[in-house]
Amino acid sequence: SSLPPPRTRIFKIIVIGDSGVGKTCLTYRFCAGKFPDKTEATIGVDFREKVIEIDGEKIKVQLWDTAGQERFRKSMVQHYYRNVHAVVFVYDVTNAASFRSLPVWIEECRQHALGQEVPRILVGNKCDLRHAAQVSTDVAQQFADAHSMPLFETSAKNPYGSDDGGRNNSDHVEAIF
Ligand code: GDP
Ligand code: MG
């Protein structure tokens, strides 16, 4: 007799941060392997999935790409945090305000994932625009250390190089999720 195929495990990751930091582009890059031609502002929540194989086992990575709009968040926020396996906080390295918002997102997460020891990571996006960076790696690393999170700097747009032709010295999106 043949056994039924094993159920694919689902790994739920929520991606959180200010509007415009590149959450949609990052999740698209991970799942579709490229930068989207055009993005529309996320309304509520978008899901993107990709099946990866770890040690011969298929794992469905489900990315919850969230939006910051207040009126959607109030009703959606419970769903975001339900059965979460990991949280990705994103800021834009060229936008200091998006970095300063992080404590608010971290606190929201703490309130909803209370009691859960959920792995969290910090991602600085848009490293292809390093010449316009407003948040240094040092400052970001200190913040990440203070919150016991690993820091990754990346670019959804150009993971391998910067717009000026140089290396942007960033982590590849594939290696982060
Ligand atoms: P979200 O609101 O966090 O989902 O942000 P989006 O993914 O919609 O991106 C907001 C804007 O930033 C769009 O115009 C994107 O084209 C741009 N963007 C996103 N990621 C990058 C990146 O890595 N580099 C650059 N230069 N622009 C990016
Ligand atoms: Mg979005």
Q: Name residues with Cβ closer than 5 Å to ligand 2, which is an ion.
A: 23-24, 42
Residue 65's pLDDT is: 87
Q: Supply the residue whose CA is at minimum distance from atom 11 of ligand 1.
A: 20
Global confidence as pTM: 0.89
Measured in angstroms, how far is the CA atom of residue 92 from the centroid of ligand 1?
9
Ligand 1 mutation pick, 19, 23, 27, 39, max ligand atoms within 8 A of CB: 39
* Burial class of residue 120 (count of CB atoms within 10 Å of its CB; 0-12, 13-18, 19+): buried
**pLDDT tens profile 69-87:** 655 666 777 778 889 999 9
Alpha-carbon distance of 13 to 123, in angstroms, equals 13
Query: 50, 13 in Cβ contact below 8 A?
Result: no
**pLDDT tens profile 51-62:** 988 888 899 999
**pLDDT tens profile 85-118:** 999 999 999 999 999 999 999 998 888 875 568 8
Sign of the torsion formed by the C-alpha atoms of 148, 174, 171 and 29: negative
Q: Taking CA 7 as the corner, what is the angle to CA 46 and CA 62, rounded to the nearest 5 degrees?
A: 15
* Residue 127 in this model has a pLDDT that exceeds 80: yes
Q: Supply the residue whose CA is at minimum distance from atom 9 of ligand 1.
A: 22
* Residue 67 in this model has a pLDDT that exceeds 80: no
> Could you say which ligand is closest to the alpha carbon of residue 161?
1
Residue 174's pLDDT is: 67
Measured in angstroms, how far is the CA atom of residue 107 from the centroid of ligand 2?
20
Residue 108's pLDDT is: 87
Alpha-carbon distance of 164 to 175, in angstroms, equals 23
DSSP string, 133-171: -SS-HHHHHHHHHHTT--EEE--SS-SS--TTSS-----
Alpha-carbon distance of 123 to 152, in angstroms, equals 5
Residue 79's pLDDT is: 79
- Atom of ligand 1 at shortest range from CA of 155: 23
Q: Supply the residue whose CA is at minimum distance from atom 19 of ligand 1.
A: 22
Residue 5's pLDDT is: 73
Alpha-carbon distance of 153 to 26, in angstroms, equals 12
> Could you say which ligand is closest to the alpha carbon of residue 38?
1
Backbone angles phi, psi at 150, to 5 degrees: -75, 150
Question: Does residue 22 have its Cβ closer than 6 Å to ligand 1?
Answer: yes
Per-residue pLDDT, averaged over 136-153, amounts to 95
Ligand 1 mutation pick, 21, 25, 157, 171, max ligand atoms within 8 A of CB: 25
- Average pLDDT, whole number, for the chain? 85
33 pLDDT tier (thresholds 50, 70, 90): confident
156 pLDDT tier (thresholds 50, 70, 90): very high
